[in-house]
Structure formats: structure tokens, C-alpha cells
Structure 1
Amino acid sequence: MRQGLGTQLRHLIDLLDGAVGAAYEDAGLAYRPRYTPVMRALESGEPRTIGQIAEAAGITQPAATQTVALMLREGLLDASPGVRDARQKLVRLSAHGEHLLPQLRQCWQATRAAADSLDRDLPYPLSEALAQAIAALQTESFGERIRTARAATNSNKETS
């Protein structure tokens, strides 16, 4: 039996994140793979709002909010009130986060090389397939596709 798309994607993420997490541990870092998009968005040193982090990282605002909260607790980030709007948080790397960047960059370089190796071993590069899938879902969401399929199924039942 073929597994569903969601099951396959979760399994793939488990395989990838597990290996990346182990690589951070091997490098002596107490660091989660999910922190990387936020770290990358902030590595320039420029403070950013949660919305700006989400946009730069290519993640949702709720995901950015949750990840930033975890990273603040772990001392990787600092936050201060916004200049124009004190309700808005400006987030930046903490001294500890800055200190980790050289080691993290080495890990990121190795991870990129491993991803390139995986792409070469596949008949169609996974990174390209994922980019195309994301673009297709931005054109027509998976929810819209489900509704269309459900309507077609219901229509076929009525005509049978």
C-alpha cells in the first residue's frame, strides 16, 4: 500500500531533521534545526519584527512567533520594544547567538553539501520538486484542491 503524501512528507522531515539534529549534537551544539530559518533571517545583525523574520525565513508568522519564543528562552535571541510601536517586538541575535554563528555556518555548509548530494542521487532533484510544489500550492492551495476533488466525487456519485 502506498503511503499518503502527508505521511511521506512527515517521514522525510523526520529523516532529515533527525540527521541534522544529530549533526548539531556531534558539533557540540544544543541547537534545533527549526531555529535555522530564524537565525539566517537575523544573521546580518539587523533587528527585525516577527513579521519580517517570517517573510525573510519563508515561514508562517505563527511558526516564527513560536520559534522566536523558544529561542528567546534559550538565550539565542534578544527582544526589545519597537521604536515606533512599543507593542511590536524587535528581535535580534543575542551575544550567545552571535557567538554560535561560526559553528552554525560550518554545519549549514555541511548540510547544504549533503542536500546537494541527495539531489544528485535522485532522478529529479528534491529541492526543485519541492520548489515547484510550493509554487503550485501558492497558485491553488491544497485546501482548494481537496474541495475540488470532493465536489467531483460528490458529482460522480449523483450521476451514477
Structure 2
Amino acid sequence: MKQGLGTQLRHLIELLDGAVQEAYAEAGLDYRPRYTPVMRALAGGQPHTVSQIAAAAGITQPAATQTVALMMKEGWLLAQASPSDARQKLLLLSPQGKRLLPKLQACWRATAAAADGLDAELPHPLSDILARAIAALEQRPFSERIRQAKE
């Protein structure tokens, strides 16, 4: 029986995230792969709002909010009031986040090299296929495609 697209994607993510999580552990980091888009957005040293992080990371605001909450609980981030709007919180790397950033960046470089190697083994680079699939779904959402398939 052929697996559905969602099942295949979940399995792919499990394979990738499991290996990346293992690489972090081998580097002595207690760190989750889901933190990476937030860390990358804040790595430049400038504070960001959750909305800015979501936009920079290419993730939804609810996903960014949830990830930021976990990261603050684990000591990776700090929040401060915005000088222009006290209702708005600005997020920045904590001393722990800044201290571990070089180790993380080394892991990210190794992960990118491994991804490049995987792309080279495939008839069509997975990163290109994923980018094209995302663009197609942004143009015409999957929910619309499902509705049309029911007609």
C-alpha cells in the first residue's frame, strides 16, 4: 500500500529531526531543532517581536509564539518591553543563548552540508522540490485542492 503524502512527510521529518537532535546531543547541547528558526532570526543581536521572528523564520505566528515560550522557559531567550510600545515585547538571546551560539552555528553548518549531500544523491534536489511545493501551496492552498477533488 502506498503511504499518503502526510505520512511520508511526517516520516521524513522524524528521520531528519532525529538525526539533527542527535548531532546537538553529540555537541553537548540540550537543544531542540524547532528552536533553530528563532535562534537564526535573533543571531544578529537585534531584538525582535514574535511577529518579526515569524516573518524572518518563515513560520506562523502561533508556531513562533509557542516556540518562544518554550525557549524562554529553558533560558535561551529574554524578553524586554519595547521602548516605543510598552505592550509589545522584544525578544533577544539570553547570555546562555549567546554563549552557545557558536556551537549551534557549527552544527548548522554540518547540517547544511549533510542536506547538500542528500540533495546531490537524489534525481531532483529535495530542497528545490520542497520550495516549489511550498510556493504552489501558497498560490493555491491544499484545502482548496481537496475541495476541488470532491467535486
TM interval, shorter chain, is over 0.9
C-alpha displacement of 1:81: 1.5
C-alpha displacement of 1:84: 2.1
Identity %: 68
Q: Which residue of 2 aligns with 1:154?
A: none
- After the TM superposition, which residues 1-160 of structure 1 pair with which residues of structure 2 at under 5 Å, given as runs? 1-151=1-151
SS of the residue corresponding to residue 123 of structure 2 reads coil
- After superposition, give the CA deviation of every residue in 1:110-145 in whole Å (9 maximum; x if it has no partner): 000000000001000000000000000010000111
Distance 1:44 1:96 in 2: 15
Distance 1:150 1:91 in 2: 44
Distance 2:89 2:62 in 1: 14
SS of the residue corresponding to residue 86 of structure 1 reads coil
C-alpha displacement of 1:85: 1.9
C-alpha displacement of 1:83: 1.8
- After superposition, give the CA deviation of every residue in 1:84-131 in whole Å (9 maximum; x if it has no partner): 222211000011100011000100000000000000010000000000
Unmatched runs of 5 consecutive residues or more in structure 1: 152-160
Distance 1:3 1:127 in 2: 21
RMSD, aligned α-carbons? 0.6
Q: How many matched pairs?
A: 151
SS of the residue corresponding to residue 147 of structure 1 reads helix
SS of the residue corresponding to residue 80 of structure 1 reads strand
Distance 2:5 2:86 in 1: 43
SS of the residue corresponding to residue 130 of structure 1 reads helix
SS of the residue corresponding to residue 111 of structure 1 reads helix
Distance 2:82 2:146 in 1: 41
Distance 2:72 2:12 in 1: 28
Unmatched runs of 5 consecutive residues or more in structure 2: none
TM-score (norm 2): 0.99
C-alpha displacement of 1:82: 1.8
